Amino acid sequence: MVDSSGAVVRHYSSDPVAPVREAARPPQPNFWVAVEQPLPADAGMHRVNWDLRYDALPAFTHSFEINANPGETPASPEGALVPPGAYTVVSPSTGKRITRR
């Protein structure tokens, strides 16, 4: 995802996603933690939902806020919310660009 100035705001990839180390430690049970999945690499239609956030900054440690939705609690800190505007999805394999507000 890129903003109107061309700056990258979010990366998505089909490479394997490393799990968050703290997700396997007590006190939180693992079934609450959201497990980030890589994008599918096979041919066909796929849907990706962008959470309207920048990429998360690197962190020495992560915590988990109360979400009360099994499998949907993200690791904190998360990326900041993006401001309203036009954003473009760029496909690295085809170079196709799609812009939406």
- 18-35 pLDDT per residue, tens: 877 777 666 656 777 888
What domain range is 24 assigned to?
Answer: 1-101
**Is pLDDT larger for residue 70 or for residue 19?**
70
**Cut 0.85: pTM above it:** no
Beta bridge partners of 76: 63
* Both tokens assigned to 97: 């660009």
Nearest partner of 71 among 30, 28, 18, judged by Cα: 30
Number of domains the chain is built from: 1
**Residues near 92 by beta carbon (within 8 Å), at least 6 away in sequence:** none
- Give the chain's length: 101
At residue 73 the predicted structure's pLDDT band, cuts being 50, 70 and 90, is confident
